[in-house]
Chains A and B, each alone.
Chain A
Amino acid sequence: MLQEHLVGTILSDGTPLDDLVDEQDLSVVARVMNDPEIYDLELKKLFSREWLFMGHESEIPNKGDYVARRMGEDPVIVTRARDGEIHVLLNICSHRGAQVCQAECGNATTFQCPYHGWIYDGTGRLLGVTAEREALGDRLDKSAYALQEARVGVYHGMIFANWDPAAPSLEERFATMGFYYDMLFGLTDNGLEVTGPPLRWVENTNWKFASDNLVGDGYHTMSVHKSMDQLGLVPGFADPTLTQNVTSVFDEATGDGLENFGIFPVDDSSEDAAWEQATFWMGLTEDFAPQARRRLSAQQAEVFLKGMPGVGNIFPNLAWLALPWPTGDPDEGMSYMLVIRLAEPYGPEQHLVSVWGLVARDLDPELKEMQRKTSLRMFGSSGMLEQDDAQIWSGTQKSIRGAQGRNRRLRYPLVKPRNPDWPGPGYARTSFPDEMNQMNFWRRWRDLLNG
């Protein structure tokens, strides 16, 4: 039996959860990646309490638009109701549990349960019941039968939902690291839009392999992704001397982590030139520079003009990449990709991947199209970067099934000193590569499962 003590969670074999994440040894026991009991704890304590990514506002622009998504393993409908507001509703009829919505996207003013025909509106309110008078007379209090609704927040166009009424607001959740996310998702007045529906597939790896990698494992790129260099797509990609101006940052309170890439040269001959150059590296044309300049604070500008956030993970499972990158066709040349990659739990040894491309809504359509292609060629299901990661993680997943393997320690020995001069929030090190963002992810993960 699982017991919860004041000291923390004890697993059914007597192992305290605290023993699985060792901050002194800088290691994590491999069973965190495949233990069904731990997976179940995650669904209850993590995916039921954290803000989870649902999609982007631009996927449901019109009243009545909806997409079917998941929170942990729970199916939800994300609607833009007739009131214009976004709602996240558990896709389970309040009567006998049937799915009220079977399509994964569309436009509907109501959702009718196929089982007994109960009808809900886009806010989850029960509107009507089949043969109500004959079935229930006047005894039915419809207001008690609404679809279960999650808390919803929108941050720079990204929709998040949370089951926990006691969780801090989305604004609080992004209070610290929003400093960096403004540079990714908030540079332009009209915001971002998706390049289309998400690309979706299942990988045979626990969801945390993806978070652990994308939260700050810049170290692996020199090995896993050296083909980018070999093919001449990104010359120097595997060269460790090029990464000396990368700053890794983690946030203890949220578990978020990112790498800030001070490796793209910014013309600092004048302030105008610097802004134009920096926004160019973020996939924008020079006419956006004044917007970016107005929207970022002086402190944000100090970071932004020296190097932009390039890759990171919004805890628990929303990774993002923002990099100037070639399209993959030498004739098309350089472009930019802003990709978000959601790694959803799908059993202890699998995760469901959804990848969206994002582009600035007001950007030239041809440039948008280039960025869409760059994203899918590099980080979609066929992505030339994604492919190799998936293969390596699934190898680990297979290897740690045995009695020895599951008790092996995954090690994070790369520790670097804090950069005291870093102008942004979080715990920053400018001495790439290190593995401290990952240890911070695991610390936050452990604390939530202990809570």
Chain B
Amino acid sequence: MTVLDDRRVEQETAAKPKPEFVPMTSPVYAEAVAWLFEEAELLDANDFYAWLEKLHPEVHYTMPVRATVRRADGAGVLRGNHHFDETFNSLSIRARRFLEATEYAEDPPSRMRRFVSNIRVRTDGSDDLDVRSYLLLLRSRADSPAFEIVCAERRDVLRRTPDGLRLARREIIVDQSTIGTVNLALFL
């Protein structure tokens, strides 16, 4: 798990050719924004089965560990382990657990609101849009007036399919090294 190993991974990621920014005035940009806002609406409404329909069957959904490291050691994104490392099937099981099984983490459900901003869309002309956004999740649980907060950047690949854009890859770069909510019984 050494920091140096992690830097190697980051360098590999950075070595990929950078696609061009899609201008904010482009219909493609608007399409990506609408996709993210619709996704937030579905998740905030606990409509997880509808959310799953927005995912590509080969989706890879990860959330690496974040750590405080010296500046020289990089951004402290430790990809040696993850809070989430999910496939379509494992996300489906999680959704089914919330909606159909006996579970206590989210029943009664917390009230969640996802604020999505700072959306940047890049493309290299292929079927994949590289979409990065900031996510601020406010989670209100039981009778506590204090919100639990998850703040992250999401690095997504939205793939164009005959059925519209589908999420093919999501990496959640969380800002907290110690997660600031009691559990991740939620989707980011």
Contact = CB atoms under 8 A, between A and B. Distances in A.
B145 to A, nearest CB: 14
A330 interface: yes
B94 A376 contact: no
Interface stretch (A162-170, A306-314, A390-398, A413-421): A390-398
B103 A195 contact: no
Given A231-B97, A231-B101, A387 B185 contact: yes
B93 A233 contact: yes
A196 B106 CA distance: 28
Given A224-B104, A329-B93, A384-B97, A372 B178 contact: no
Contact of A59 (B1, B102, B179): B1
A113 B30 CA distance: 51
A105 B73 CA distance: 10
A373 B85 CA distance: 6
Contacts of B163: none
B69 A104 contact: yes
Given A331-B89, A380-B83, A107 B3 contact: yes
A107 B4 contact: yes
Contacts, number: 150
B68 interface: yes
Contact of A197 (B1, B101, B181): B1
B117 interface: no
Contact of B183 (A227, A328, A391): A391
Interface stretch (B17-25, B74-82, B118-126): B74-82
A194 B184 CA distance: 22
Nearest to A230: B101
Interface in A200-232: 200-204, 224, 226-227, 230-231
A259 interface: no
Interface string B72-116: 010000101111111101100110110011111110000000000
Contacts of A58: 1
A65 B4 CA distance: 10
B105 A391 contact: yes
A102 interface: yes
B70 interface: yes
Contacts of A105: 1-3, 67, 69
Nearest to B178: A200
A114 interface: no
Nearest to A62: B2
A245 interface: no
A227 B100 CA distance: 9
Given A107-B2, A231-B93, A231-B96, A377 B85 contact: yes
Tier of interface size on chain A: 35 or more
A65 B2 contact: yes
Contacts of A59: 1
B65 interface: yes
A46 B78 CA distance: 33
A240 interface: no
Contacts of A201: 178-183
Contacts of A394: 182
A432 B97 CA distance: 27
A204 B104 contact: no
A329 B90 contact: yes
B11 to A, nearest CB: 17
B177 to A, nearest CB: 7
A61 interface: yes
Nearest to A102: B68
Contact of A227 (B69, B85, B97): B97
A35 to B, nearest CB: 22
Interface string A323-362: 0000111111000000000000000000010000100000
B1 A196 contact: yes
Contact of B1 (A194, A231, A332): A194
A386 interface: yes
B105 A200 contact: no
Contacts of A387: 103-106, 183-185
B102 A104 contact: no
Interface of A: 58-59, 61-62, 65, 102-107, 194-204, 224, 226-227, 230-231, 233, 327-332, 352, 357, 372-373, 376-377, 380-384, 386-388, 390-392, 394, 398
12 contacts: A103-B68, A104-B177, A106-B3, A196-B1, A196-B81, A201-B182, A227-B102, A332-B89, A357-B81, A373-B85, A376-B83, A391-B183
Interface of B: 1-4, 63, 65, 67-70, 73, 78, 80-87, 89-90, 93-94, 96-97, 100-106, 142, 177-185
Given A202-B180, A388-B105, 11 more contacts: A103-B70, A197-B81, A201-B181, A203-B182, A203-B183, A227-B102, A328-B90, A373-B85, A376-B83, A382-B94, A390-B105
